[in-house]
Amino acid sequence: MERFNNKTVIITGSGRGIGKEIALRFAKEKANVILTSNEKLVHETCKEFNEMELKASSFEADVSDKNSVIELFNFAEKTYGEINISVHNAGVITIAKVEDLTEKEWDFNLDVNTKGVFLCCQQAISKMRASGKGGSIINMASGQARDGFIYTPHYAASKFGVVGLTQSLAKEVAIENININAICPGIIDTDMWTYNDTKWGEILGGYKKGELMNDWVQKNVPMKRVGTGKDVASLVSFLASEDANYITGQTINVDGGLIMS
């Protein structure tokens, strides 16, 4: 399919993992993709895309820094013109018992996961308003925006914040043909989940490397499998398409039935 032919799409946190799969999905549907991350790896990812003859450019940005976000959106506009779709996927997590959780960890999670999404939404809305053509914004929340997990109150708070932010902004800009939705991935096979599996396993005890994730999936996920970046990318591409024009302010799970609400 070529639903996004010549549409300009920004995907934060797209050097690897879920973000890379989202970017690849858009690029294969002929979009102009802006890959962005705070890691130099994003330039290697862009090179991979270009070698596949996909339209992509890369830009290093820190989503928790307003000036960096402004530079990112200006770069995208200068490179490809009007911005049509903005996917705010960059995220971090740390895991600690409540008495060991530091203020630095709290601020780090909220700065990237919540403030970062807000700053990107702010710029995306500004650019879409200026074009007068509307657009689609997709914010990455988490299953922990539905049900907080043990040892991650800061992460859960940051992702619950993404849901509230999405709803509030969606109401503000709906009349301007700007749709804003959020996604809650469940257990997805990424570097982040590998960290989660290791750290939770250490704190809970009794688990060998890789056992916690598999045990959790078998006991709690009706589909009995771990999700993939492609599973998430499929939902993102739908929400960004014309098929979802009458959908805004929603938060949708992609988790194999882990949380049904």
Q: If you search the block for the tokens 């990812």, which residue do you land on?
A: 45
Tell me if residue 80 is catalytic: no
Q: Classify burial at 102, counting beta carbons within 10 Å of its beta carbon; exposed 0-12, middle 13-18, buried 19 or more.
A: exposed
Phi first, then psi: what are they for 222, rounded to 5°? -55, -35
* CA 69 – CA 74 distance, rounded (Å): 9
Q: Which of 80, 151, 155, 207 is catalytic?
A: 155
Enzyme catalytic residues: 155
